[in-house]
Amino acid sequence: MTALLKLEGVVAGYGRGDILRGIDLELEEATITCLVGPNGAGKSTVLKTLSGLLRPREGTIVLAGEEISRCSPAELLARGIVHVAQERSLFPLMTVWDNLLMGGHILRERPLVRKRAEAIAERFDLVRDRRDERAGALSGGQQKLVEIARALMLEPRLILMDEPTMGLDPKARHLMFEMVAQLNEEGRTVLLVEQNARAGLAIAHHGAVLDNGCVALTGPGKSLLDDPRVAELYLGGAPAAA
Amino acid sequence: MSRATTAGLVRGGAFAAAGIAFPFVFHAAWIVNIGVLTLMYAALATAWNLFSGYTGYITLGQAAFFGLGAYTLGITFEHVGVGSGYNPFYALPLVGAGIALVSVPVAWIALRTRHMTFAIVTLTLLFIVQQLAFNLRSLTKGSTGLMLPTPRFPIDSYDTPFYLAMLALLLAGLALCWLILRSKLGLMLLAIREDEEKARGLGIRVTGAKLIAWSLMVWLSAMVGGVWAYYLTFIYPESSVDPLVMIGAVLMTFLGGRGTLWGPTIGALVLVPTQQYMITKLGASQLYLVGYSAVFMVVLLLLPRGILPSLRGAIDSRRERRRTHREPVVREEAHA
Amino acid sequence: MHQVIQAIILGVLVGGIYALMASGLTLVFGIMKVINVAQGALVILAAYLSYALFSHVHIDPFVSILIVTPAMFVLGVAVQLVFVRSLRGPDGSELSLLVTWALALGIEGVLSVIFKTTYRVTSPSYADSSWSVFGYRISEVRLFAFVASAVLLVLLSLLLTRTRFGRAVRATVQNPTAATLLGVDANRVQTLSFGLGVSMAAAAGAVYGVIYPFNPGSHYDLISRLLSIVVLGGLGSLGGAVFASLGMGVIEAIVAVEISPVWASFSFFVVLLAFLLVRPQGIFGVRERVL
Amino acid sequence: MSAALLEIEGLTKRFGGVTAVGDCSFSVPEGSVTALVGPNGSGKTTAFNLITGYLRADAGAIRFAGSSIRKPNPVSLARRGLTRTFQQARVFPDLTLVQNMVAALQQPWRAALRRAVRKPEQARALELLEEFGLARLAEERAGNLSYGQKKLLEFAAVLMADPRLVLLDEPTAGVNPLLVDQIEQRIRDLNARGLTFLLVEHNMNLVMRLSDPVVVLDHGTKLAEGSPDVVRTDPRVLEAYLGG
């Protein structure tokens, strides 16, 4: 297996503080990697650094042999990295369809954007059935699904997903994990941040545990699940024991 | 926050003494005239700062109260008679207080909005008052303007009483600011400026505190307007409710430093003589406007924090550098 | 009753032009939280341009929209790049208020130097003609002006809803971070939208000069109304701006015939204050989130 | 269990079509450390904002210290002894630590022109800062503090006015482990002296050690309520919270 993405000694943060204090991480092509860790460990910051929202202060990020740590969000999108943010990130007053078209913003050719949008509408019943509704009128789970559909407009190689199941009910959560697995089966690489460590690690090939801005542990997802150190770091001793 | 230091008192005393001595040293009418205008702007800027500088609510309606003060004095002259000579000066605090009282309900509505909306709403107050000045012809004589009786002060020192009145208002404004900055009210106002929602959560009566600062601003501005009207003896809507006067005062506050005690005065000392020079050189309201707007841009784009805060920042960072050699004070740690 | 209906017709026609000016103002606010106080001065500048084109080159004011609007678009882009873009940080919005005010003073000054302060009006041959419909008088230029404004507003809304650029603008208004994540260049959107906002002012200005006499100082009167309109409509809301413009036009016209013309704009300010008592966020505005 | 200091009944808040808090009822016994827990997005912070008057509820009743609060308003609640901290530590960055502390003392209007920081107030502020380990920074600008120190300062400041009930919104989020211990110890000490707490917290270890009762929210409604042991063994809680 080859590494699609490689982070070495990445330091990043806001204002005067560093949140990431030297992240080393490799993502293998066509795998799911799940990033877990306690609140404030820097999981979301890793994703923001990868999607260009935040410039790393030190370290290198290499995508398929090419250094990308200085790229703008648009350049990273063009290289096939999309970021599905933690917050609701649809444009609530725009229609589902327009939201989808926004996903192809960096593709300038109108017919191509339209063709891809039609293909996605074929794949997602939700998009097809409610294309002219305002995105803000959809439920939380539906919005998340549209966000993912929108991310597919660029046919990305690497999808960054920040807590896609946050605030979803169990059924929608289940659907979301199925979606992640499906994307992976199509050959896409997924970097997933998940609050729900058990479910996240269960579907991931690889796991990485973040603590205080550094990667504390890595390993196959399933084995991390059973690692007592993870429980201690993340889940807290008491409830995990129950 | 300022502390009552000996140095501060000396500074204030020296400023007051120099201010009083000025017209007796420089007799020339045109110099005293510039002095009057400088003090007028300094007092207006200090009043603006008292509200906007301390609470963070930018008001663009100050000229409304300046104009109300001017017209109220003019109208009382017309209908009641406030005496002549120095008497009108003594009536001013009452005039100002009346206007402040009337402005409170309006301010209460305006203060339901924030940020840009607040700035715009207060700006409409300015236009409302200007419209009133145009339309209430029975009181204001509309666009013809209102004539006030010319006081019989000695010709060679005609400007001096007005100069002293403006100085008194500026000193009153500075004293108020100083008093507020060292008091609990000042603490409340600064808390509101920094984080109003947090202040509410601590039980600080934010609306009351803002209204007090507002009324003081209106009180001072109205009195300044009154003195100005008496000085010019002729007022009309465009000149007495003039957005230019207010924007000038705001610019001076920005130049000197918002939220500081002396900033507005320093700003006025720099800008008013410049402005007067430009008027004599370039002629009123034509090229002068272009020059004025250029000065404006330069100040805002190059020195947005103002003279005093920039100086203080430079001194602080030098001190900081010296101190960090000895001990690390506070270390930054992980943010959420 | 006849008078009131006549007033409403007049109010709607006038409101349409204000809607065009206000839409540019509120659009710019929605995207970059900047209030362009110079919008009024830019309208007057455009009115002078159109006046000059009419009196020297004999170009019809309605045709001159096609020249004035792109020219002012370029000016708007330049203003954004030179003055507005550098205003960042926590005080950026408030500073922008003062910087654009200074810009308004500068424009006023330049216009006073060139055109002096006498009132001008662009008067094409049809300036005073009017039609009569069911006994109501409809002035030709006002109707043309209204139609031109409506067409431009429709074009603006098509631009915003049907084009790639328009989608990017709306996306930036609704969720700037998400827009950045999809590759929207926020700087570009801001600069072009500022230009767009100014060109709305320009188009309205060319028309304004036919209906009202103006001088370099007229921008105060304009901006006071425009600011009230965008606050009443809810800062950042295009629909609100259009709605509030028509409302203002009608209120002013009715007050003018029923009470007195001199109280017309005064009454609108009072309506605004009264309205804020009930809804501080304006008609279509979203209340600023407290947390 | 002693009488309830704070009672919430049928609290409801919808944003657009989404119900953030729906028909939520629970109470905070006098003298307790009550915890409000639940997965991300379950409505804890919204509930906090409703209780403290930062948001207007669509429906529901709130009783505090025996009297019902019709229109909760942060200022009057704080003055009645119900105060809160914020998830992102909120302090006045340009004021010194002491000034931050004294600003939190509620003043009558007649005191408005008294000196901002009077001697006894300064002493009280220093005493509290000492307890929180911040005394040596007393004259520092609050904006210069680290994030964790800001959290401590915010916590210390709300104590200045001797409140009866303190709502802590994630007191340990983003704080390093040393400070977490310190915050835990402060809560214990203050609780032992009779202060009641309601806290939202993600650190389950801390919650289980510190709180009784624990109220579990999920999708804006109460899922379970009881002692840590009861809640911990409730299968519904496990499913909601740990994703089973």
Which among D113, D134, D157 is the end of a domain?
D157
Strand pairing category for D196-200 and D165-169? parallel
Look at chain D and report how many structural domains it folds into.
2
D146 and D132, same structural domain? yes
For testing contact with chain D, the best of B3, B181, B184 (most D CBs within 10 A): B184
Is residue A122 pLDDT above 70, yes or no? Answer: yes
- B293/C102 CB distance under 8 A: yes
To the nearest whole Å, the CA of D22 is away from the closest chain C CA by: 20
Asked if C232 and C250 count as a contact pair (C-beta separation under 8 A), the reply is no
Which among D157, D187, D203 is the end of a domain?
D157
Q: How confident is the model at residue D244 (pLDDT cuts 50, 70, 90)?
A: very low
- B212/D112 CB distance under 8 A: yes
Which DSSP string do the residues of chain A spell out, in sequence order?
A: --EEEEEEEEEE-STT--SEEEEEEEEETT-EEEEE-STTSSHHHHHHHHTTSS--SEEEEEETTEE-TT--HHHHHHTTEEEE-SS--S-TTSBHHHHHHHHTTT---HHHHHHHHHHHHHH-HHHHHTTTSBGGGS-HHHHHHHHHHHHGGG--SEEEEE-TTTT--HHHHHHHHHHHHHHHHTT-EEEEE-SSHHHHHHH-SEEEEEETTEEEEEEEHHHHHH-HHHIIIII-HHHHH-
Q: Which two tokens stand for residue C274?
A: 């009264």
Q: Domain for residue A240, yes or no?
A: no
Nearest CA in chain A to B333: A17
Asked if C91 and B258 count as a contact pair (C-beta separation under 8 A), the reply is no
To the nearest whole Å, the CA of A1 is away from the closest chain D CA by: 31
Give SS3 for C137: strand
Q: How many beta-carbon pairs under 8 angstroms link B with D?
A: 117
Nearest CA in chain A to D146: A17
Q: Which two tokens stand for residue B312?
A: 């203080």
Buried b (16+ CB within 10 A) or exposed e, C140-156: ebbbbbbebbeebbeeb
Average pLDDT for residues A7-18, to the nearest whole number? 82
Cβ-based contacts of C228 with chain B (< 8 Å): 120, 124
For testing contact with chain D, the best of C91, C174, C291 (most D CBs within 10 A): C291
Burial of B319 (0-12, 13-18, 19+ CB in 10 A): exposed
**What is the predicted pLDDT for the residue at A238?**
38
To the nearest whole Å, the CA of D35 is away from the closest chain C CA by: 22
C35 vs C117, residue with greater confidence: C35
To the nearest whole Å, the CA of B289 is away from the closest chain C CA by: 5
Asked if A41 and A210 count as a contact pair (C-beta separation under 8 A), the reply is yes
Asked if D175 and D105 count as a contact pair (C-beta separation under 8 A), the reply is no
Phi, psi for residue A84 in degrees, rounded to 5: -100, 110
Neighbours of chain A (3+ CB pairs under 8 A): B, C, D
Is residue C285 pLDDT above 80, yes or no? Answer: no
DSSP code, position B144: G
Mark which residues 262-291 of C lie under 8 Å from D by CB.
290-291
Picking from A30-34, A172-176, C219-223, which range would have the lowest pLDDT averaged per residue?
Answer: A172-176
Of B300, B320, D240, the C-alpha closest to A239 is D240
Cβ-based contacts of D42 with chain A (< 8 Å): 167
Nearest-angstrom CA–CA distance, C31 and C172: 6
CATH of the domain at A39: 3.40.50.300
Average pLDDT for residues B190-219, to the nearest whole number? 93
Nearest-angstrom CA–CA distance, C116 and B119: 31
Neighbours of chain C (3+ CB pairs under 8 A): A, B, D
Instruction: Say whether residue B203 is in contact with chain D using an 8 A CB cutoff.
Output: yes
**What is the predicted pLDDT for the residue at D187?**
93
Is residue C158 pLDDT above 60, yes or no? Answer: yes
Instruction: Say whether residue C33 is in contact with chain B using an 8 A CB cutoff.
Output: yes
**What is the predicted pLDDT for the residue at C277?**
81
Beta strands in B240-313 (DSSP E): none
- B292/C263 CB distance under 8 A: no
For residue B235, the cross-strand partners are B146
Average pLDDT for residues B131-146, to the nearest whole number? 81
Please give the helix or strand (H or E) that residue C183 lies within, else none: none
Q: How confident is the model at residue B68 (pLDDT cuts 50, 70, 90)?
A: very high
Dihedral sign of CA atoms C20, C25, C26, C31 in order: positive
- D92/B190 CB distance under 8 A: yes
Cβ-based contacts of A198 with chain D (< 8 Å): 242-244
With vertex at residue D133, the alpha carbon angle to CA D128 and CA D139, rounded to the nearest 5 degrees, is: 75
Phi, psi for residue B297 in degrees, rounded to 5: -60, -45
**What is the predicted pLDDT for the residue at D20?**
83
Cβ-based contacts of D75 with chain B (< 8 Å): 200, 203-206
**What is the predicted pLDDT for the residue at B172?**
93
Instruction: Say whether residue D39 is in contact with chain A using an 8 A CB cutoff.
Output: yes
Picking from A196-200, B223-227, C151-155, D74-78, which range would have the lowest pLDDT averaged per residue?
Answer: A196-200
Please give the helix or strand (H or E) that residue C281 lies within, else none: none
Cβ-based contacts of C102 with chain B (< 8 Å): 293, 296-297, 300
Domains in chain C: ranges and CATH:
2-278 (1.10.3470)
Nearest CA in chain A to B336: A40
Picking from A87-96, B133-142, D42-51, which range would have the lowest pLDDT averaged per residue?
Answer: B133-142
Locus of tokens 């882009």:
C77
Mark which residues 52-81 of D lie under 8 Å from C by CB.
54-55
Average pLDDT, chain D: 86
Strand pairing category for D165-169 and A32-36? unpaired
Q: Domain for residue A26, yes or no?
A: yes
Nearest-angstrom CA–CA distance, D94 and B77: 47
* pTM across the whole model: 0.85
C-alpha dist (Å) from residue B51 to B185, B211, B220, D213: 12, 9, 11, 47
| A145-173 pLDDT per residue, tens | 899 999 999 999 999 998 888 767 667 78
**What is the predicted pLDDT for the residue at C39?**
93
In sequence order, the 6+-apart residues with CB closer than 8 A to the CB of A95 are: A131, A132, A133, A134, A135
For testing contact with chain B, the best of D80, D83, D87, D90 (most B CBs within 10 A): D90
**What is the predicted pLDDT for the residue at B309?**
81
Neighbours of A61 (CB within 10 A): 23
C56 vs B146, residue with greater confidence: C56
Nearest-angstrom CA–CA distance, B235 and B148: 8
| C238-257 pLDDT per residue, tens | 888 899 999 888 988 888 88
Portion of chain A with pLDDT greater than 90, in percent: 27
What residue numbers bound the domain in which D32 lies? Answer: 1-85+163-244
Instruction: Say whether residue A196 is in contact with chain D using an 8 A CB cutoff.
Output: yes
Cβ-based contacts of C87 with chain B (< 8 Å): 304
Cβ-based contacts of C180 with chain A (< 8 Å): 53, 73
Picking from B135-149, D86-100, D203-217, which range would have the lowest pLDDT averaged per residue?
Answer: B135-149
Q: How far apart are the first and last CA of chain A?
A: 38
DSSP code, position D224: E
| C75-101 pLDDT per residue, tens | 999 999 988 888 776 677 888 888 888
- D86/C290 CB distance under 8 A: no
Q: How confident is the model at residue C291 (pLDDT cuts 50, 70, 90)?
A: very low
Nearest CA in chain D to B179: D113
Q: Which amino acid is at A170?
A: P
Q: How confident is the model at residue B198 (pLDDT cuts 50, 70, 90)?
A: very high
Q: How confident is the model at residue A39 (pLDDT cuts 50, 70, 90)?
A: low
A154 vs D233, residue with greater confidence: A154
To the nearest whole Å, the CA of A214 is away from the closest chain C CA by: 25
Cβ-based contacts of D212 with chain A (< 8 Å): none
Average pLDDT, chain B: 83
Give SS3 for D81: coil
**What is the predicted pLDDT for the residue at A99?**
92
Cβ-based contacts of C174 with chain A (< 8 Å): 91-94
Q: How confident is the model at residue A242 (pLDDT cuts 50, 70, 90)?
A: very low
Q: Domain for residue A241, yes or no?
A: no
Nearest CA in chain A to B334: A19
**What is the predicted pLDDT for the residue at A236?**
45
C84 vs B188, residue with greater confidence: B188
Cβ-based contacts of A235 with chain D (< 8 Å): 204, 242
Is residue B322 pLDDT above 70, yes or no? Answer: no
Q: How confident is the model at residue B124 (pLDDT cuts 50, 70, 90)?
A: confident
C-alpha dist (Å) from residue C54 to B60, C51, C108, C122: 37, 5, 21, 7
Domain ranges of chain B: 3-241
**What is the predicted pLDDT for the residue at B245?**
84
Q: Which amino acid is at C193?
A: S
DSSP code, position B287: I
Cα C97 to the chain's mean position, in Å?
A: 16
| C171-216 pLDDT per residue, tens | 988 888 899 999 898 889 999 999 999 999 999 998 898 888 888 8
- A19/B334 CB distance under 8 A: yes
What residue numbers bound the domain in which A156 lies? Answer: 3-234
For testing contact with chain A, the best of C181, C184, C187 (most A CBs within 10 A): C181
C-alpha dist (Å) from residue C37 to A44, B79, B119, C29: 39, 39, 11, 11
To the nearest whole Å, the CA of B127 is away from the closest chain C CA by: 7
Q: Which two tokens stand for residue B13?
A: 């005393």
Is residue A231 pLDDT above 80, yes or no? Answer: no
Average pLDDT for residues D208-213, to the nearest whole number? 88
Asked if D59 and B177 count as a contact pair (C-beta separation under 8 A), the reply is no
| B233-257 pLDDT per residue, tens | 888 888 888 888 888 898 889 888 8
Is residue D167 pLDDT above 90, yes or no? Answer: yes
| A52-102 pLDDT per residue, tens | 988 899 999 999 888 898 889 999 999 999 999 887 889 988 899 999 999
Neighbours of B203 (CB within 10 A): 24
Q: How confident is the model at residue B155 (pLDDT cuts 50, 70, 90)?
A: confident
Q: Domain for residue A242, yes or no?
A: no
CATH of the domain at D182: 3.40.50.300
Largest CA distance in chain B: 73
In sequence order, the 6+-apart residues with CB closer than 8 A to the CB of A165 are: A172, A173, A176, A177, A194, A195, A196, A199
Cα B62 to the chain's mean position, in Å?
A: 8
To the nearest whole Å, the CA of B47 is away from the closest chain A CA by: 35
To the nearest whole Å, the CA of B332 is away from the closest chain A CA by: 6
Phi, psi for residue A7 in degrees, rounded to 5: -105, 135
To the nearest whole Å, the CA of D194 is away from the closest chain A CA by: 27
Look at chain A and report how many structural domains it folds into.
1
Neighbours of chain B (3+ CB pairs under 8 A): A, C, D
Picking from A5-14, B29-38, C123-132, which range would have the lowest pLDDT averaged per residue?
Answer: C123-132
- Packed helices B115-135 and C264-278: angle between N→C axes, nearest 10 degrees: 150
Portion of chain D with pLDDT greater than 90, in percent: 29
Beta strands in C84-212 (DSSP E): 130-133, 136-139
C278 vs C105, residue with greater confidence: C105
Of B174, B172, B158, the C-alpha closest to B32 is B158
